Amino acid sequence: MEQFISSIITLCLIMDPFGNIPLFISALKKVSPERRKVVLFRELAIAVVIMLIFLFMGGWFLRAFDIHSFSMSIAGGLILFIISAKLVFGNDTEPTSDPRDEEPFIVPLAIPLVAGPAVLSMIMILSAQHPNKMVTLSAVLVASVFNSAVLALSFPISKFLGKRGLVAIERLSGMILVLMSVNMIMDGISDFIKGSF
């Protein structure tokens, strides 16, 4: 149960729904209000499908390339650390906006804003760490539901919290991720040492 809750929290923090609110608003601002929820849930559904593919194919990928679980843990920790540093110190990158008045499709909403490299890497790590796929599957689904609920309310939440409120939540998430990334790296090093002696 503890691993299940930890997996949910980790995935929710990496998905960073509050940090993605301004990016989603920017990507959906040209879409008519009555179509926004349809487009949003379509993109989120595509992201979930991609995450599930990585969940069930992650073990095969690790075996095919002879990658050890401690390597994934250390690499995932480093990726998390880089992402968390961007959250803590701010990230000035903005998604490229399409000059044409079209609905976004797969890019940039499904990939990379929801199912980005860090999320997919973490799913593969969790899949390798937990033999029971149902635990990781449940964690992915619960985290996706939370992420979808926040992003579905992105326009009202943005108005309520304001820019400073969103930045504060993003920085707090970054600080938590820093601690989790260090813990992952240390666990990977510990597993490597145990396997070497």
Sorted by sequence, the CB contacts under 8 Å of residue 17 that are 6+ apart come out as 146, 147, 150, 151
Q: In terms of pLDDT, which residue wins out, 183 or 92?
A: 183
- Taking the C-alpha atoms of residue 150 and residue 17, their distance in angstroms, rounded to an integer, is 6
Question: Residue 101 — very low, low, confident or very high, per pLDDT cuts 50/70/90?
Answer: very low
Domains in the chain (CATH in brackets) are 2-94+104-196 (1.20.1250)
The pair of structure tokens assigned to 180 is: 């989790």
155/20 Cα distance (integer angstroms): 12
How many CB atoms neighbour CB 15 within 10 A? 27
Provide the 10 A C-beta neighbour count for residue 46: 17
49 within 8 A of 113, measured Cβ to Cβ: no
- Residues 9-60 have pLDDT tens digits of 989 988 888 878 877 877 787 788 888 889 988 999 999 999 999 888 877 8
Say whether pLDDT at 135 is over 80. Answer: yes
Tell me the pLDDT band of 150, cut-offs 50, 70 and 90.
Answer: very high
In this prediction, residue 120 has a pLDDT band, given cuts at 50, 70 and 90, of: confident
